[in-house]
Amino acid sequence: MQFSSSLLENAVNEFAKLPGIGKKTALRLVLHLLKQDSEDVEHFSETMSRMRNEIKFCQRCHNVADADICSICANSLRKQEMICVVENIRDVIALESTQQFSGTYHVLGGVISPLDGVGPNQLNIDTLIHRVQKEGTSEVIFALSPTIQGDTTIYYIQKKLPAETKVTTIARGIAFGGELEYADEMTLARSLQNRLPVDSYVSSR
């Protein structure tokens, strides 16, 4: 692309560095910003800088936070003795959006994946073990990806948790709206194994 303004070119290049944004999309976004009021663009820029510079990670669960402890951990109405272990911040947001979970979280920062060079020491596993021991957590719920790496991570952490702690994982099965014939064999086999009494199924809808 040929630009007649280096200011425009620089802005397009900055946007094009973001994931999934090509040069053409970047140009569209920049031309949109160019049409906005100067104060609005200033506000956009300031919000990004502030977010990067002032955001903190919860010292207890490693979730993003505005303070040293995140708003979920600081909420006394939530069940502090119940911890849901997730891979990343995005999973916390997805689970919170269901408004069905009233416990706390622990963000691992990934799953054990030797091929990608991610071992237990790169993840927030030690802080989880320490937290469960110190707080006397009653239940640890794993909400990790249903992959070999996810299962390995569950297995690794479970062995390190105190024997009296209840350890569960979120249910695997056919998703609502999913077609049975398109489900993979593994999912289908597991959903048969873990079949539910019809009474509990109907009442939970």
Residues that bind a copy of itself (CB under 8 A): 1-8, 10-11, 14, 17-21, 25, 27-34, 36, 38, 41-55, 58, 63-66, 70-72, 89-90, 92-93, 96-97, 99
For a copy of itself, the closer CB: 94 or 186: 94
Query: Are 149 and 112 contacting, i.e. CB atoms less than 8 angstroms apart?
Result: yes
For a copy of itself, the closer CB: 11 or 144: 11
For a copy of itself, the closer CB: 98 or 203: 98
CB < 8 Å & 24+ apart, contacts of 129-138: 129/157, 129/160, 129/161, 131/60, 131/83, 131/106, 132/83, 132/161, 132/162, 132/165, 133/162, 135/80, 135/81, 136/81, 137/81, 137/82, 137/83, 137/165, 138/81, 138/82, 138/165, 138/166
Shortest reach from residue 148's CB to a copy of itself, in Å: 25
Shortest reach from residue 162's CB to a copy of itself, in Å: 27
For a copy of itself, the closer CB: 83 or 92: 92
Shortest reach from residue 123's CB to a copy of itself, in Å: 16
Q: What is the per-residue DSSP string for 108-130? A: -SS--BGGGTB-GGGTTHHHHHH
C-alpha 197 chain-centroid distance:
31
For a copy of itself, the closer CB: 7 or 186: 7
Shortest reach from residue 63's CB to a copy of itself, in Å: 5
CA–CA dist 52, 60 (Å, integer)? 20
Shortest reach from residue 78's CB to a copy of itself, in Å: 11
